[in-house]
Amino acid sequence: MILRYLSIHDNLGKFSQKWKNYNKNERTGYQSFLSDFFRCFGLNFEDPNNLPFEYNTGNGFADAYLENSVIFEMKDFNKYKTKEQLESQLPQALKYWEAKGRHVPFLVLCNFHEFIIHDTRDGENHHVKLAQLESRVDSFSFLVKLNPTFVPEQEAVTKKSAMLVGNFYKALIERNAAKKEDIDLFVLQALFCLFSEDIGYLPAQTFTTCIRKIRDGEDNSANILGTLFKMMDEKEPNRKKGRFANVRYFNGPLFSKRPEIVLEDNEVSLLWDCCQLDWGNVKPEIFGAVFESSQSSKARHKDGMHFTSEEDILSVIGPCIIEPWLLEINKANTERELIEIHKKLMAFRVLDPACGSGNFLVVAYREIKKLEQKIFFKFKNAAACTYNEAQQKLGWFPVSNMHGVELNQFPAFLSKVSLWISKKLLVNEYRLLEQDLPLEELKHIVCADALEIKWDNVDVVVGNPPYIGCKQIKEARGVEYCNWLSKRFKDHNQMSDYCTYWFEKVLEDVRPGVRVGLVCTNSISQTNSRIASLDKVIINGGEIFNAISSKKWSGDAKVHVSIVNFINKKTYSGIKKLDNEVVTKISTRLLKFEVDVESVGLEVNMNKAFQGVCALGKAFILSDKEAEVLLKNKKNKEVIKRYYTASSVVDDPQNNPSEWIIDFQDWPLETAKLYPEVLDCLKKHIEIEKKQAEKKDTKKRNKLRSASNKNWWKFWRTRAELRAAIAPLEKYILVSRHTKYPIFIFVESKISLPEDSTVAIAFDDYNSLGILQSKFHTDWYKFQCSTIKGDSRYTNTFVFETFPFPKKITNSVGDVMKNIELYRKEACKKQKIGLTDLYNEMAEGGHDILKKLHQKLDSEVATCYGFAKSNLNSYENVIKFLNALNSEIAEITSRPADAANVRKVAKKASGVLETTTSKKIVKRKQV
């Protein structure tokens, strides 16, 4: 007989109540337990000759077997209390499965209080606690011949709960239900209660019953919730008897203040929907998502706050906390050693100096409690005592050891709530005797600017500082704050990202030897931000021991991050890992090698490469029709140019300029008035743009426009130096600033202007174009470039000006480059694709002719450098060679030097010197 879903649901509720206190061994009661469990699903085994128990699989006896459905293996709760311990018995059940010809789709391990369902079809394990059976009926639907529905552990209601609580918060804010700080507190109190009634802080259904009475008009929210919260803040001896007399004392941190907010119907409805979820299945890390959903995108951007995934968090918690402690715990075996190691763990303090809603602290606390449990079990065996006796002897790691600093009040308080909930969940999961109430004060989590206060003396620092770029700090934090930063951190590179200041504070406030793990924008390994952060770590005696060089951030911010773990002011003697690979060294560029000295801008390269002009807005842009009309007056050709954008370089099949632009250069207004038709057209465009700006959030653009109102007919950046450099040339080289692979093309100089999304290089010869398009310059670009989001950025300063050209460039380089250009033009025209698509196809195995031409180009350029061709595939060798050559050229241009020094540097870096180098390296010469 197969029962209906609701009947099964009710049966499982009664079943869990009956068996919740069972603590005898599995032999004593397992058949009764399983018989009751099967009956919940309408399965009765009345035939004594056909009972499913003690079934001989051919390789041992399974506790229960249902043909072609499931094998049950029961375990003694006193021996296998935890999920991990229970899962360790899976191999035994798999032996039975093997013996049955692998036809059984499910294996179930059970210790009377928890079930592990192993799906043999995909190898996944699914965890269900006895108390969760009613809400997890679908996980056992294979017992009624249906395919089960599994949910990821503790993620069953995570997304929905975040959405509902976020919507509830927003509803209160939007109707201005109370002061914001009162709304913040009220929502946190409600959120805490939603968890509490499902995890055992509050009696079951306490909060839900309150919301039901509000919904049904039996009471109002201010009265009934105010009474509940007051009772949660009163010690038992002081209480009057009443409807919440069975509610325990929670202490004042959360309920000493009780905002009286009368909820409207839609808000009650949202809260009622929240009550229908199983909050015991929600991770405490959900608070981060709740917090983010409660903030506008503008506020999140302003403060650089973002919700970090557990995967990224564990990338610092693992190396900085779990791994070193596991080494220590694994060494400890005697009672005395385990007592000492636990005493040391109980004194261990964790700081997140940008804690947001507490995600890092929650994960760190959880992992430390896991480590503590490992100590308990080791001590239990060493002392021949029970698990409970081990706890009572050793004590518990206190949640008050978690320290945090957060700029905003709401997330700072949210961090505390996260930890209070986490503690109760872990007390339940690990069956700890640790007192769960009253709530600790958690006074070490403070609301402050982490850069303004002295950090606590702690044993590890983890977190992700705000994601605010150097150019956005002033807009986000204000002029006064930026001025304070400059005075407070006088030797700090002001062109570095905001997160780099956290490295300064580490060096100031964190003692030597402490591990630090930070998730930052990937700019910390690049140019100015690297100089202000990781370089300083190394200069002060620290060492990076584990890092992820760059990865797409798991949140919704469009950034790529670097994850860096280092020892503060001390060296590291253990195994180092970069991008999960064992390495011997991790440089501040987050590479597995380092160079002897930083490259510098070379005098010979100055005033050769320039960022394109910046018109600021679209007012200067002309449509084809407008240009056609204006160009009927031939005089207007002097101020109407073709406009090369990055798209012109990489996307247009023929590299044709995509737009027309009005260009009055740096002329005075009276000169611009000599072209009245064009000037009138520009005026009209500006008026249209102003009207459009009023409808959009273009604050930054308007600010820049207002700064140049007096020169409204000019570009914001006219680039006089660029114009002077390309004026004598018939053509010049152009490259997109934001590109994975730099592609260089020639464009005509007389009739065109490059946009600021490009870099213009004042060379007109194919030899120079060939050098730039070779592997040497591409590798140098990867080494020197910065990034924006995940895209590499070509700059005229860090990339071009530091690049050491060979002294002599043979014409064979230019000849090969001409063939490359010819092939590219024909292929793009034939396939109607741009250069980016062309090179993508080559990377995927296409265009073998183009690939061979590039290999020939690299070989010819290697000859010019005197670089060993056998080392061409070694990125490290190429970079070390070019970096050494950069240093030598920089030194020679400042004082005379013997050419032998150059040859020695080249030979050391490349392995084999194939040609000689001329005696004077000041100007490049072509032959």
- Mean pLDDT of the 480-500 span: 87
Instruction: Tell whether the model's pLDDT for residue 497 goes beyond 90.
Output: no
**Residue-level pLDDT at 824:** 96
Instruction: Tell whether the model's pLDDT for residue 698 goes beyond 70.
Output: no
Tell me which of 918 and 734 has the higher pLDDT. 734
Enter the tokens of residue 384: 């021949």
**Residue-level pLDDT at 892:** 79
What digits encode the pLDDT tens for the residues 749-781? Answer: 888 899 999 999 999 999 999 999 999 999 999
Task: Please state, in angstroms and as integers, the Cα–Cα distance from residue 673 to each residue in 337, 676, 679, 680, 856, following that order.
Answer: 88, 5, 7, 9, 53
**Residue-level pLDDT at 46:** 62
Q: Treating both helix axes as pointing N-terminal to C-terminal, what angle do 848-865 and 811-831 enclose, rounded to 10 degrees? A: 160
pLDDT above 70 covers what percent of the chain? Answer: 87
- Mean pLDDT of the 588-611 span: 89
Three-state DSSP class for residue 738: strand
What is the average pLDDT score of the chain?
85
**Residue-level pLDDT at 905:** 39
Task: Please state, in angstroms and as integers, the Cα–Cα distance from residue 840 to each residue in 757, 833, 836, following that order.
Answer: 21, 11, 6
- Mean pLDDT of the 390-406 span: 96
Instruction: Tell whether the model's pLDDT for residue 914 goes beyond 70.
Output: no
Q: Point out which residues pair with 72 in neighbouring strands.
A: 64, 108
Instruction: Tell whether the model's pLDDT for residue 927 goes beyond 60.
Output: no
**Residue-level pLDDT at 496:** 85
**Residue-level pLDDT at 95:** 87
Instruction: Tell whether the model's pLDDT for residue 7 goes beyond 80.
Output: no
**Residue-level pLDDT at 908:** 42
**Residue-level pLDDT at 10:** 76
**Residue-level pLDDT at 911:** 38
Instruction: Tell whether the model's pLDDT for residue 899 goes beyond 50.
Output: no
Instruction: Tell whether the model's pLDDT for residue 289 goes beyond 50.
Output: yes
What digits encode the pLDDT tens for the residues 112-171? Answer: 999 999 988 778 888 888 888 877 777 888 887 766 655 554 454 566 777 788 889 889
Instruction: Tell whether the model's pLDDT for residue 302 goes beyond 90.
Output: no
* Residue partners of 545: CB distance under 8 A and separation at least 6: 319, 565, 566, 567, 572, 574, 576, 577, 586
**Residue-level pLDDT at 702:** 54
- Mean pLDDT of the 343-349 span: 97
Instruction: Tell whether the model's pLDDT for residue 917 goes beyond 70.
Output: no
Instruction: Tell whether the model's pLDDT for residue 901 goes beyond 60.
Output: no
Instruction: Tell whether the model's pLDDT for residue 356 goes beyond 50.
Output: yes
Q: Point out which residues pair with 129 in neighbouring strands.
A: 114
CA distance 785 to 777: 11
* Residue partners of 917: CB distance under 8 A and separation at least 6: 807, 866, 899, 902, 903, 906
Band of residue 4 on the pLDDT scale cut at 50, 70, 90: low
Tell me which of 597 and 321 has the higher pLDDT. 321
Helices (H), 583-719: 624-630, 646-650, 669-672, 676-695, 699-707
Give me the residue spans of the domains in the chain: 5-144, 158-282, 300-463, 465-590, 609-865
Residue 438, preceding bond cis, omega within 30 degrees? yes
Instruction: Tell whether the model's pLDDT for residue 477 goes beyond 90.
Output: no
What digits encode the pLDDT tens for the residues 426-453? Answer: 998 888 999 998 999 899 999 999 999 9
73-87, 224-238, 271-285, 443-457, range with greatest mean pLDDT: 443-457
Instruction: Tell whether the model's pLDDT for residue 682 goes beyond 80.
Output: yes
Enter the tokens of residue 720: 């006089």
- Spatial CA neighbour of 431 closest among 21, 76, 82: 82
Task: Please state, in angstroms and as integers, the Cα–Cα distance from residue 795 to each residue in 522, 588, 589, following that order.
Answer: 17, 20, 17
Helices (H), 353-457: 359-383, 387-394, 409-429
**Residue-level pLDDT at 133:** 85
**Amino acid making up residue 454:** K
- Mean pLDDT of the 17-39 span: 84
- Mean pLDDT of the 719-747 span: 93
Q: For the ranges 37-51, 117-131, 218-232, 525-539, which has the lowest average pLDDT?
A: 37-51
Tell me which of 27 and 505 has the higher pLDDT. 505
Helices (H), 100-179: 158-174
Domain 5-144: give its CATH code: 3.90.1570
Enter the tokens of residue 792: 């590499």
**Residue-level pLDDT at 149:** 57
Asked if 335 contacts 382 with a C-beta cutoff of 8 angstroms, the reply is yes
**Amino acid making up residue 155:** E
- Mean pLDDT of the 686-705 span: 66
Distance in angstroms between the alpha carbons of the first and the last residue of the chain = 94
What digits encode the pLDDT tens for the residues 772-820? Answer: 999 999 999 999 887 766 567 899 998 999 999 999 999 999 999 999 9
**Residue-level pLDDT at 926:** 34
DSSP string, 265-294: HHHHHHHHHHHTS-GGGS-TTHHHHHHHHT
What digits encode the pLDDT tens for the residues 199-252? Answer: 889 998 899 999 999 999 998 889 999 989 988 888 876 666 677 878 888 876
Task: Please state, in angstroms and as integers, the Cα–Cα distance from residue 788 to each residue in 24, 497, 555, following that order.
Answer: 62, 12, 16
- Mean pLDDT of the 721-740 span: 93
468-482, 694-708, 901-915, range with greatest mean pLDDT: 468-482
Band of residue 73 on the pLDDT scale cut at 50, 70, 90: very high
**Amino acid making up residue 737:** R
Q: For the ranges 104-118, 498-512, 606-620, 886-900, which has the lowest average pLDDT?
A: 886-900
Long-range residue pairs from 813-816, CB within 8 A, at least 24 positions apart, any chain: 813/766, 813/767, 813/770, 813/771, 813/774, 813/857, 813/860, 813/861, 813/864, 814/765, 814/766, 814/767, 814/769, 814/770, 815/766, 816/770, 816/853, 816/856, 816/857, 816/860
Tell me which of 554 and 355 has the higher pLDDT. 355
**Amino acid making up residue 367:** E
Three-state DSSP class for residue 552: strand
